[in-house]
Amino acid sequence: MAAKTLEQLIANLTYEIQYYDEMLAEWAKQFASDPQYALEWSSQTFMYAARRSVYREVLAAASKEGATLESVRAFALGQALNAARTVQSSSSQPSNIAKEHVRAEWARLVSGFDAPLA
């Protein structure tokens, strides 16, 4: 995530979490209106939920007393490596999809620490 300071990282994460909260709320409205249709077109919802979840974890790490950009990056790298070690093999396809999105998001976040957030 392209942030030059811890404060900038926290601001970016807060903005992103709010954005994904809004996207998930919109999907929830669609689900309440027509669950079948919402589920048929829910692939991006997995990504939104994964990003929100990962960003909330990173925000918690960044908000700890004594946190630095490097400590947050190290935390994210550790999470990415832990996620990469696990092969999802649940009998629940949605569970596997959700965990794959979380794994991908940790990798995307770590690789983006020195590049703009896309």
Residue pLDDT, tens place only, 46-97: 999 999 999 999 999 999 999 999 999 999 999 999 999 887 788 899 999 9
Task: Judge whether 50 and 104 are in contact, CB under 8 Å.
Answer: yes
**Position 116 in a domain:** no
Residue 1 lies in a domain: no
The pLDDT assigned to 68 comes to 94
Assigned domain for 52 exists: yes
Question: Is position 15 within any domain?
Answer: yes
Q: Do 13 and 59 meet the contact criterion of CB atoms below 8 Å apart? A: yes
**Could you tell me where the beta strands, DSSP code E, fall in 45-118?**
none
Tell whether 38 is covered by a domain. Answer: yes
Distances (CA, A) of 62 to 8, 26, 65, 86, 96: 11, 28, 8, 25, 28
DSSP letter for each residue of 5-56:
SHHHHHHHHHHHHHHHHHHHHHHHHHHHH-HHHHHHT-HHHHHHHHHHHHHH
Question: In percent, how much of the chain has pLDDT > 90?
Answer: 81
For residue 117, tell me if it sits in a domain.
no
Expressed as residue numbers, the domain containing 98 is 6-111
- Has residue 76 been placed in a domain? yes
pTM score: 0.89
Overall domain count for the chain: 1
